[in-house]
Amino acid sequence: MLRKRIFIGGIVQAVGFRPFVYNLALKNGLCGFVLNSGRGVIIEAQGPAAAVQKFIAQILQNPPALSRIESVKTQNIALKRENSFIIKTSRRAGAAQTAVPPDIAICKDCQKDIADKNNRRYRYPFTNCTNCGPRFTIIKDLPYDRAQSTMKPFKMCPACRAEFENPQDRRFHAQPSCCAACGPRVWFVCGGKNIGGIEEAAAKIKQGKIIAIKSLGGFHLACDALNKAAVARLRARKNRPHKPLALMFGDIREIKKYCRVNAEEERLLKSAAAPAVMLKKRRDIALISDGLYTFGVMLPYTPMHKVLFDILGRGGALRGGHGPLVMTSGNISGRPICIDNQEALDDLGGIADGFLLHNRKIHNRIDDSVLFELGGKTHFLRRARGYAPAHIKLSSPLKKPALALGANLASSFCLGKGDKLFPSQYIGDLDNAGNILYFKETVKKMQRLLNIRPQIYLRDAHPGYYAAAYKPHAQKVLHHLAHALAVAAEHDLRRGFLCFAFDGAGLGADNTIWGAEFLEIGRGKWRRAGCLKPVRIFGGESATKDIWKCGLSYLLAAGFNDAQIKNILRPADTAAALCAARGNINCYTYSGAGRLFDAAAAILGLCAQTTYQAQGAMLLESAAARGASKACYEFALEEKGGLISVDTAPLIRGLAADRRRPAEAAAKFHNTLARIILAVALKLRAREVALCGGVFQNKILLARAQALLAAAGIKVYTNNILPAGDGAIAAGQLYAKYAGFV
Ligand code: ZN
Ligand code: ZN
Ligand code: FE
């Protein structure tokens, strides 16, 4: 006989770990207990030595699907007089911390429950179990118990309580478990009146109305995606003329009617995180993502979405099967996604015709995650629901708890303590009061939830970013170094590597705008090995929207005369701009990549003015998807004083010559950039290369660069946990501190 205390750390709460341990203990005939602490799960198991060993082995071999065991410690302790194994009530965490589980999409069993007329949870929109349901969005504090979540006001009915207390039941200790008799309820508000529930909302959607739906991490705005008038109205009311809209399909078969889906993409769509996945179009739907070759697509991930699609499908459907719904974030521009009923009624009143509301509070605001798949790996455009606040594990602990504030666009922050980095969810652009409030609110909530009191602050070097006002004395980390180190953090890269950090813009060490950087990263040291040759961009901030000004700038740099430029960029009125640009008025020096993509899109006539971020680059990528060319344009690799510079003027001249065949030209543009990356990597004799920065959210460029590098025997690292864009900056800043770069 012996008794062991077993301590297990990682994602072990709210994933069915305790009942799993309990059932294993019963099977092995052990006594003792299992307990959630703020630090992880504590088990004491007593019995014959062989049985205890077997019990531990079984825990490690086959833990619950959603758990992630990161540490195990065991010790022998004195025997106790016991004759049963029990699940003890939670112990309040001390100065400890553990992981907070992300939200989990509705599981197959719960889907069956709500589809079964004879089940007591038939069409109940808050059905969940130990294997699925809300987590992060409803958790206020650790350890995770119903009383510390927004389920607290709902007192379990006897039937739910019986399931909750029965270790053999799927809902054993499922904290948010409930039913129609005891749980939250939904209602539908239209014209200021409460007129029913999901049935009535579905009827309005069929009539072409726009409905605000309180989902898991915030509100959605939904309408029939196949109803062009409805989508046009949504776009007009949301003041969003072109930005792609996310779609939700009833099931995978429906998705396959409109999109190409490979096995890995299907797995992601159906995964517990249930993100929006960027898929290649098979059949287009007007006004959803015009000009682009992809749709952002997700499956219903809450029981409420499921019930809604169930009702829509049954009643004869939205044209044919039950077609897709637009499912876009419920916010007005410059404001975060709404989470509160009154907030939604106020903010979205001018957009939505009806409101599907419920009375379970959303504690943590979070958008849908958006990603694409390449070569079996995930590439995030936005890391949020289903992923945040999962952590990145470091191989050794940080010296002090820290908070890194990230960058300004598509921002997120990152908390660090012990051997863990906790990147926050996507928050949005910090150029407006609404998102700044969201940022501050989330910093507060996450510090409390994870019990971290930062002693060190880190921020971008850019003086105009919000972080500079929020924590002016924070230690500064250079933007592109942070990009590089975010990759290092994910892959625990200790050795040196060459990083291609390509993005729109970031403040460089020489106070010019960088963004197509070749950085040699060593141990605590780094060097700018080169960049794309700087170009003078005319138009200041306005050039990111009036992207014809980027076209003009690059054409000027490539030696075109005024008449040629006027001809290429028609119908933009270039006369005054040319005059100013030649006089170096309102110009800045730029060595980035983002404006180069904008210039190419403008030169090829794909877009002169943008209405959303990266529109030029996305249209260019989509044009490249239609082009078959394997050819390249010329480029010139120069070296001066140990600094490589790549002149893109020949590339621009090639684009201008090919502009009547934009698809072929766009394909050649992408091929050329991939070639440039390979040429620089070979020149610098790199063996390991990191590709990061927002430019690598371009799947075609990423795929081509990866393929060329791999063929040359070079190992490629990318961001697969964090987005390649500025959403990774905060984690990179923290890693800079951790690895001694600042
Ligand atoms: Zn379930
Ligand atoms: Zn109940
Ligand atoms: Fe960046």
From the CA of 185, the nearest ligand is: 2
pLDDT of residue 101: 86
In the reported structure, the alpha carbon of residue 368 is separated from the centroid of ligand 2 by a whole-number distance in angstroms of 29
Q: In which band, very low, low, confident or very high, does the pLDDT at 40 lie, cut at 50, 70 and 90?
A: confident
- Mean pLDDT of all residues in 193-219: 96
Tell me what the mean pLDDT of segment 325-348 comes to. Answer: 93
Measured in Å, residue 295 CA sits from the centre of ligand 1 at 28
Percent of the chain clearing pLDDT 90 (strictly above): 89
Please tell me the class of the 186-358 domain.
alpha beta
Tell me the mean pLDDT in the region 462-471: 95
Cα of 133 from ligand 1 centre, angstroms = 7
Which residues sit opposite 45 in a β-bridge? Answer: 4, 32
- The ligand minimizing its distance to the Cα of 725 is 3
Ligand nearest to the Cα of 695, by number = 3
- The answer to whether residue 144 scores a pLDDT higher than 90 is no
Q: Residues, the chain, total?
A: 742
Query: Is the pLDDT confidence value at 319 over 80?
Result: no
| Gap from CA of 157 to ligand 2 centroid (Å) | 4
Would you state the pLDDT for residue 6?
96
> 3 and 44 in contact (C-beta within 8 Å)?
yes
For the cut 80, the answer to whether the pLDDT of residue 632 exceeds it is: yes
Confidence of residue 167 (pLDDT cuts 50, 70, 90): confident
pLDDT at residue 333 in the model:
79
Write out pLDDT tens, residues 645-677: 999 999 999 999 999 999 999 999 999 999 999
Query: For residue 501, how far is its CA from the centre of ligand 3 (angstroms)?
Result: 8
Average pLDDT over residues 448-455: 94
Closest ligand relative to 465 C-alpha: 3
- For the cut 90, the answer to whether the pLDDT of residue 318 exceeds it is no
Q: Angle at Cα 365 formed by Cα 160 and Cα 184, nearest 5°? A: 25
Share of the chain above pLDDT 70, in %: 98
Q: What is the mean pLDDT of residues 110-137?
A: 96
**179-215 residues labelled b (16+ CB within 10 A) or e (exposed):** bbeebbebbbbbeeeeebbbebbbbbbbebbbbbbbb
Write out the residues surrounding ion ligand 3, Cβ under 5 A: 503, 506, 726
Angle ∠(96,100,103) on CA atoms, nearest 5: 170
Confidence at residue 683, expressed as pLDDT on a 0 to 100 scale: 97
Res 317: pLDDT: 47
Note the ligand closest to the C-alpha atom of 183: 2
Nearest Cα to 429, choosing from 692, 668, 727? 727
Structure confidence at residue 316 (pLDDT): 47
The pLDDT of residue 313 = 86
What pLDDT does 320 receive? 47
Q: Tell me the pLDDT of the chain averaged across its residues.
A: 94
Confidence of residue 314 (pLDDT cuts 50, 70, 90): low
**What b/e readout covers 22-40, taking b as 16+ CB neighbours within 10 angstroms?**
bebbeebebbbbbbbbbbb
What is the whole-number distance in angstroms between the Cα of residue 141 and the centre of ligand 1?
Answer: 23
Would you place residue 94 in the very low, low, confident or very high pLDDT band (cuts 50, 70, 90)?
A: very low
pLDDT at residue 357 is higher than 60: yes
Ligand 1 center to residue 132 CA distance, Å?
4
Q: Domain map of the chain by residue range? A: 2-87, 186-358
pLDDT above 70 (res 423): yes
Place of tokens 């009143």: 349
Q: d(Cα 742, Cα 738) in Å, to the nearest integer?
A: 9
For the ranges 479-483, 572-576, 698-702, the lowest mean pLDDT is seen at 572-576
DSSP class per residue in 296-330? EEE---SHHHHHHHHHHHHTT-BTTTB--EEEEE-
pLDDT in tens, 614-624: 999 999 999 99
For the cut 90, the answer to whether the pLDDT of residue 15 exceeds it is no
Q: Which ligand is nearest to the CA of 460?
A: 3
Residue 568, helix vs strand vs coil: helix
Q: Give the Å distance between the CA of 177 and the centre of ligand 2.
A: 8
pLDDT digits 0-9 by tens, 703-716: 999 999 999 999 99
Between the CA of 509 and the centroid of ligand 2 the distance, in Å, is 60
Lowest mean pLDDT among 56-70, 128-142, 151-165, 320-334: 320-334
Which residues line ion ligand 1, judged by CB < 5 Å? 107, 110, 129, 131-132
Structure token digits, residue 575? 């006369």
Mean pLDDT of 192-199: 95
CA–CA separation, 581 and 63 (whole Å): 63
Query: What are the percentages of helix, strand and coil residues in the chain, rounded to 5?
Result: 35, 25, 40
DSSP string covering 220-278 = EEEEETT-HHHHHHHHHHHT-SSS---EE-SSHHHHHHHEE--HHHHHHHTSSS--EEE
Instruction: Give the ligand with the smallest distance to the CA of 481.
Output: 3
What integer pLDDT is reported at residue 96 of this predicted model? Answer: 46
CA dihedral over 417, 4, 11, 171, signed as positive or negative = negative
Which architecture, in CATH terms, is 2-87? 2-Layer Sandwich (3.30)
Residue 259's pLDDT band (boundaries 50, 70, 90)? very high
Tell me how far the alpha carbon of residue 552 lies from the centroid of ligand 1, in angstroms.
Answer: 56
